[in-house]
Structure 1
Amino acid sequence: MKILLLHSLYPPHIGGGAEIVVRQLAEGLHARDHQVVVLATGPEAGLHLEDGDGPMVYRTGLHNLYWHYNERRPSRLLRLGWHWRDRYNPAMREPLRAVIARHRPDVVLCNNLTGWSVAAWDEITAAGLPIVQVLHDLYLLCPKDTMFKKGRSCQAPCFACAALRRRHATASGQVAAVVGVSRFVLERLTRQGYFAGAAQHVVHNCTDLAPVAPSPVPAPRGPLRFGYIGTLSENKGVHWLIEQFQALSIDATLSIAGRGKQEDESALKALADPARVRFAGYQAPKAFLHEIDVLVVPSLWAEPFGLVAIEACSQHVPVIATDMGGLPEIIQDNLNGLLCSPDDPDSLGRAMLRLALDRNLRERLARQARDSVAPFLDMQQMLDQYQSILQAALAGRRVQDDHPYAGYSAARIEPAGD
């Protein structure tokens, strides 16, 4: 198959776990001798083809007020203008049209549409190509893609979100197949009327972290090492974690790895006691997980999945996680970790205290952790599932005598660095 993989970002620009999974999909399908082309947004104007082995990667400048992958948070007015344009951005159809015209894919695997908007669906449909849409987040319901407001997870789209997503559910009728990375995220979208005519699938994300020893290495005696790795933002609950941890009188440390907007990082560092809380900056997951005893995933929003929880369990690190979104599909209470709830603010502190005081429980959870996530460690099975879904979508597409771009002259595509 010739597969065009569309996504908001692509490594080295990583906003979260979706970028890691998208790269795994692109490289995995390429290794299976499919012709894979990746198209993502980038910091430079124009459409650029990157040099390198593996899948072909194009990056295009974003036709909006700013590129959304940056450290500083724009003003509220600029953000509103950005989201207003992103509700349907016809200018983003041009680079997509150029890449389709050049490579003539058989099927398009759409991932995060932030920046592209649902205008991408119209362009792909105009080319007569089947669409497989992967749901990594809640972008189709919420412009911020989190459904998180005023410190709480929204149960339904608010008035503003509904206005900015008007007719999107109808537009989703163009999608041949939809894939949720969790049951939660698929059901959240379909309950709102999305993808009524599409084949529906759940394919959990997998991780390709290198294998470890068949049993965990006993943690050294000394302070218990809690850790967090991920984006430093309000919806991730890092402030809640710091407050709950610092309220405990236990022999323990807390390491926080990741980056966020500058103002968010500054606020968290001002809250933390440097004698007990360390900010480690960006860290490779495997190296970081080897330096902690317990991972905490304190999400306040309905996390669509939670790849980091699988990564931790795969390394025999038990996890404390909230019972939000797709996380309970990974973490099972008293099997590979403990669950807590933002609705009970002290539940996070109680879970940390329990593991600090009960070494036997902690070691049992560590022993069981890797086996508990075994289905999430089979990358080839995940690729098999996507391959089957793509083939089914391709088999069901409308037969056309002439390619719609037969006479189209593609826009100039410049090599990276020009």
Structure 2
Amino acid sequence: MKVLVVHNRYRSEQPSGENNVVDQEVSLLHEAGHEVGLFERRSDDIASMSLVGRVSVPLRVPWNAAVRTELATRLRADRPDVVHIHNTFPLLSPSVVAACTDAGVPAVATLHNYGMVCPPGTLYRDGRVCTSCVGGQPLPAVRHGCYRGSRAATVPMAVSTALNRARWWTGVSRFFCISGAQRELLVSAGMPAESLVVKHNFVEDPPVRRELPGEHVLYLGRMTEEKGVRLLMTAWSRAEMDIPLVLAGTGPLSDEVSDWAAGRRDVHYLGLRTKAECQALLARASAVVVPSVWLEAFGLVVVEAMAAGVPAVAPAHGAFPELIEPEATGLLHAPGDASSLAAALRRIVAPAWNRELGETARVRYEKDFTPSVGLDRLIAGYEAAIG
């Protein structure tokens, strides 16, 4: 099969799970013998643009006519069987969908977030889950400045959402939702149910798995409010655990987390770590904690923990209830509730039960989240779109 992948890469200074997913899928297709081309833009390139170029970027977020022409020309020359669209913000724009229509090439798109119904794609505002724009026009997002706290910065995204909704929904043959929870919300917002299929992200089998009892509870991710970092700090202070908490990652709350950890003997903040270092931390974990207070469309860290034979604690909302089977592969806590999270942390580290949870989590990974399963679902989506 001949596939062209379309993606606007996120800035390298902010490690992106979405970039990683795209790279892994491209490698997976190559290894399976498929021919894969790339049509990319990089947000890193904005910094090197002229002043005029940088100023014009927001104007091209809703529609980039030059990209439409360039991509349509590429498609007519290469004639791929299918185009796989990922992120189009800010340098590509939804004009890539029109280019596929111009060239008569079927398109599929992976929905990595809630951008179809929420301009910043997060469904999160002012410390809480927000669905004000779901099923309607994105005016609340502009009013509240939901993207980077700025009304001006939110306007191009809101305009793009409003103007291109019909084009996305009619011009893309198959949308890959990364969880059933995400699909359910998008269908309720009016997206065509027949075009939305669930294709979970896959995870490569790690080079190391847990063999000995875990040494720590691990938080692995961005240091941000929506990821539940402050909730975790509160819960950990209440939990009074016998093993330490290790946090790895970076973000706006890094200094706050570092200061908090410096005042405790049972907490270690490591900052940003390499992929190999994160895998080693996972293999030595008793449990992974993912305390997100927003509605995660997926939970990649949970699946990475499964692959390493490690159970997870996460909130009972978003995608987590379909990833974690309570009392079997991990535990769910009441969303946003520090006491419920503390209780789950105390329970999950019980030695005999913890080992059993980890073993069951590994079985779940082998059943649903391996590269081979991911490839089968990817190709099935492509074939359906071509058909």
1:277 aligned onto 2:270: no
Residues matched between the structures, number: 360
Contact preservation (8 Å) 2:282, 2:305: yes
Write out per-residue CA displacement over residues 201-234 of structure 1, whole angstroms, 9 at most, x where no aligned residue: 2111111123667xx52316xxx51111112222
Q: Which residue of 2 aligns with 1:403?
A: none
1:210 pairs with 195, 201, 206, which one? Answer: 206
Q: Which residue of 1 aligns with 2:287?
A: 294
Offset of residue 322 of structure 1: 1.0
Q: Which residue of 2 aligns with 1:114?
A: 89
Write out per-residue CA displacement over residues 132-179 of structure 1, whole angstroms, 9 at most, x where no aligned residue: 111121122222221111111123426334854214431221111111
Quote the Cα distance in structure 2 between the aligned partners of 1:24 and 1:254: 30
Write out per-residue CA displacement over residues 67-125 of structure 1, whole angstroms, 9 at most, x where no aligned residue: xxxxxxxxxxx9xx977753444454355346435533231111223323322212222
Alignment gaps of 5+ in structure 1 = 47-59, 67-77, 396-418
| Structure 1 residues 381 and 354: alpha-carbon distance in aligned structure 2, compared to 1, 3 A threshold | closer
Amino acid at match of 2:239: L
Contact preservation (8 Å) 1:295, 1:317: yes
Contact preservation (8 Å) 2:293, 2:336: no
Offset of residue 270 of structure 1: 3.2
5 Å matches for 1:178-197? 178-195=175-192
Quote the Cα distance in structure 1 between the aligned partners of 2:220 and 2:289: 8
Contact preservation (8 Å) 2:297, 2:318: yes
Q: Which residue of 2 aligns with 1:70?
A: none
Quote the Cα distance in structure 2 between the aligned partners of 1:234 and 1:265: 11
Offset of residue 29 of structure 1: 1.3
Quote the Cα distance in structure 1 between the aligned partners of 2:290 and 2:266: 18
Quote the Cα distance in structure 1 between the aligned partners of 2:7 and 2:379: 18
Quote the Cα distance in structure 1 between the aligned partners of 2:291 and 2:51: 35
Contact preservation (8 Å) 2:30, 2:36: yes
1:126 aligned onto 2:126: no
Contact preservation (8 Å) 1:185, 1:326: yes
| Structure 1 residues 14 and 379: alpha-carbon distance in aligned structure 2, compared to 1, 3 A threshold | farther
Amino acid at match of 2:205: L
Write out per-residue CA displacement over residues 250-277 of structure 1, whole angstroms, 9 at most, x where no aligned residue: 32211111222xx432233234335332
Contact preservation (8 Å) 2:308, 2:362: yes
1:351 alignment partner, SS class: helix
Contact preservation (8 Å) 2:329, 2:360: yes
Amino acid at match of 2:247: I
Q: Which residue of 2 aligns with 1:37?
A: 37
Quote the Cα distance in structure 1 between the aligned partners of 2:103 and 2:122: 31
Write out per-residue CA displacement over residues 30-78 of structure 1, whole angstroms, 9 at most, x where no aligned residue: 22222201233225659xxxxxxxxxxxxx9899986xxxxxxxxxxx9
Offset of residue 314 of structure 1: 1.6
Higher percent of residues as helix:
2
Quote the Cα distance in structure 2 between the aligned partners of 1:250 and 1:269: 19
1:391 aligned onto 2:378: no
Q: Which residue of 1 aligns with 2:152?
A: none
5 Å matches for 1:234-249? 234-249=225-240
* Aligned residues: CA RMSD: 3.1
Quote the Cα distance in structure 2 between the aligned partners of 1:369 and 1:286: 16
| Structure 1 residues 173 and 161: alpha-carbon distance in aligned structure 2, compared to 1, 3 A threshold | farther
Contact preservation (8 Å) 1:203, 1:382: yes
Structure 2 length-normalised TM: 0.82
Q: Which residue of 1 aligns with 2:358?
A: 366
1:259 aligned onto 2:250: yes
Contact preservation (8 Å) 2:235, 2:339: yes
| Structure 1 residues 322 and 95: alpha-carbon distance in aligned structure 2, compared to 1, 3 A threshold | farther
Q: Which residue of 2 aligns with 1:378?
A: 370
Amino acid at match of 1:217: E
Structure 1 length-normalised TM: 0.77
Contact preservation (8 Å) 1:181, 1:202: yes
| Structure 1 residues 363 and 45: alpha-carbon distance in aligned structure 2, compared to 1, 3 A threshold | closer
Quote the Cα distance in structure 2 between the aligned partners of 1:378 and 1:317: 16
1:332 alignment partner, SS class: coil
